[in-house]
A and B are shown apart, each in its own frame.
Chain A
Amino acid sequence: MELGALQTVVNFFLGLGASVLLPIILFILSLIFGAKPGKAIRSSLMFGVGFIGLNLIIGLLSNSIGPVSQGMVERFGLKLDIIDVGWPACASIAFGSNISTLIIPAGILLNLLLLFTRVTKTINIDIWNFWHFAFVGGLVQWATGNIWYGLISALLFAAAMLFFADWTAPAVQQTMGLPGVSIPHGFSAAPVPFAIIINKIIDIIPGLNKIEGDPDTIKKKFGLMGEPLIMGVVIGLILSAVAYMGDGPWTDWLTKMLSTGVTLGAVMVLMPRMVSLLMEGLIPLSDAARDFLQKRAGDREIYIGLDSAIIVGHPTAIATGLIMVPITLILAIILPGNRVIPFGDLAVIPFLVAIVIPIVKANVFRSVVVSTVFMIPSIYIMNFLAEGTTAAAVAADFALPEGANLITSICDGGNWIPAMFLKLAENFWVGNIIVAVVIALLFVILKKKPAAMHKLAGYTPENEEK
């Protein structure tokens, strides 16, 4: 009898759906960390609003781009049926997964533990970007059917990002002029190992190693394309021009082109607005979590772990982001076997290069080479992860239209770190223990050889400065 009653209660909560359940959980979490109830209620509800809003926009996007991809298949045999819905969608999918409520408190406790054992110097107060960890957790949970496996992988990702933040902090602080800050960001971290290797290779190629990429010239030349609205409209026009070519009279063609253009422009403008509502909903919790962590950090030297949003304004990041839009689209078309239409995340490529900037010394030519080389496996990873990402979206109550395409996002759907965790889930314990050992080793190396490691990440020791 009692068990039956419990079952009813559990089913009731699960039946509420993410847009109701998440605000409730968020509210409770905020109170636990000491936020004020009045503020917490309003913000938690705002989170639910953002969730609903985002759901509407994703519907708009897939309704508009679905027929486009069908057209490409019919007319050109280009099978582009996986839509890059963009990181905002992935973030809310991640926050909508039932693992997100575990990863926030667990991630904070793990951070405290590593801080007190003096393993890390970073306190990651960027609770918002815990969604990257939740995303990995959601994928692993989907693959294994076990939420605890998901949580373990998510926590390993969180620990790896603390290492990454410690490692890159001196370079980031120096290049960006941000003392005391480190960046434990799940997407910006991904290209760094590639960047170090590619940069070394460029160093030894005569001719290429002399090219100087000046960001300001490029920014001026590409100016208008940098606006999400214009980018959305232009991509919409081009894609629909191709997809609907020769489909009925030219007036129909033009109508479809124009309406797809404006709709995709709308998606680019509206999507970030909706996500900023989600963010607004997180403020009391992230403030409370920040104070909770800072109070316990004492007076030791710490880095404050923040979002890479604070460094993507660097001219090199913006310039690279602009150049990478056409390059990414071309890659998607020419790479054999690819099914992804890049769209939503074309606007956030600056995040990809944020932490690469110190390594390439702000040279746009080099950051474009790094991004291009990184983008090729990234596109294949998106193909690989699309099924899991889509399943996670469905699990988080995102209403994808019937018979809809698969979805992905360059940001995390094309990121080798989540892909690695998903692959390791096939042999969960062996794989995750190896990852744990590697992370531990990396922390040890950083402790033993800080100077060499920081230099690798692009830090210029003071005695070498000109």
Chain B
Amino acid sequence: MAKKILVSCGTAVATSTVVLRKIEENLQEKGIKADLIQCKAAEVPSKLDGVDLIVTTTPVGDVGDIPVIQTLSFLTGIGVDADMEKIISYIKE
């Protein structure tokens, strides 16, 4: 089953769109399937059902045991590969 990744930022409009598209492209290139869902950071606690990983550009508060990657690499272009490796390590088992 495809893993579920929540991608969040302040508005679910600007930065998270960039992050989501970049992750999607990267995963496609590597042939890895995942469900990517975009939301506001404030909504994250109410959308945790079945989520395997959270990637965010802004703090997300209490999410229990779900791993969180807070990163700006997809925006600045610096450190994208390292973050992609991290993301893949979480969703591949």
Contact = CB atoms under 8 A, between A and B. Distances in A.
Interface of A: 88, 125, 128-129, 176, 178, 181, 219, 223, 226-228, 272, 275-276, 279-280, 283, 286-287, 290-291, 294, 304, 306-315, 317-318, 321, 347-348, 350-351, 354
Contacts of A318: 41-42
Interface string B25-40: 0000000000000101
Contacts of B15: 306-307, 309-310
B25 to A, nearest CB: 9
A465 B34 CA distance: 44
Nearest to B41: A313
A226 B42 contact: yes
A125 B13 contact: no
B23 to A, nearest CB: 13
B86 interface: no
A275 B13 contact: yes
Number of chain B interface residues as a range: 20 to 34
7 closest cross-chain pairs (CB), A and B: A313-B58, A312-B10, A313-B41, A309-B10, A279-B17, A313-B59, A276-B17
Nearest to A290: B77
Contact of B57 (A223, A294, A310, A351): A310
Given A88-B13, A272-B11, A311-B58, 20 more contacts: A178-B72, A181-B72, A272-B12, A275-B13, A279-B17, A286-B18, A304-B76, A307-B10, A307-B14, A309-B11, A311-B10, A312-B41, A313-B9, A313-B41, A313-B42, A313-B56, A313-B57, A313-B58, A313-B60, A315-B59
Contact of B14 (A227, A279, A291, A317): A279
Contacts, number: 101
Contacts of A291: 77
A313 to B, nearest CB: 3
A226 B10 CA distance: 12
A176 B41 CA distance: 15
A312 B43 CA distance: 13
Interface of B: 8-18, 21, 38, 40-43, 46, 56-61, 72, 75-77
Contacts of A314: 58-59
Q: Is the interface of B mostly helix, strand, loop or mixed?
A: mixed
Nearest to B45: A223
Contact of B21 (A88, A227, A280): A280
Nearest to A226: B42
A178 B72 CA distance: 9
A420 B66 CA distance: 47
Contact of B12 (A219, A276, A310, A315): A276
A308 B14 CA distance: 10
A268 B38 CA distance: 15
Contacts of A283: 17-18, 21
A424 to B, nearest CB: 29
A276 B13 CA distance: 5
A304 B38 CA distance: 24
A379 to B, nearest CB: 22
Contacts of B12: 272, 276
Nearest to A39: B25
Contact of B18 (A279, A304, A347, A351): A279
B57 A315 contact: no
A227 B41 CA distance: 10
A226 B43 contact: yes
A313 B62 CA distance: 12
21 contacts: A181-B72, A223-B46, A227-B42, A272-B11, A275-B14, A276-B13, A280-B21, A283-B17, A307-B14, A309-B9, A309-B13, A309-B15, A309-B16, A309-B57, A313-B8, A313-B10, A313-B61, A315-B61, A321-B42, A350-B42, A354-B10
Contacts of A219: 61
B11 A312 contact: yes
A347 B58 CA distance: 17
Contacts of B42: 226-227, 313, 318, 321, 350
Contacts of B60: 313
A304 B77 CA distance: 10
Nearest to A350: B10
B12 to A, nearest CB: 6
B11 A227 contact: no
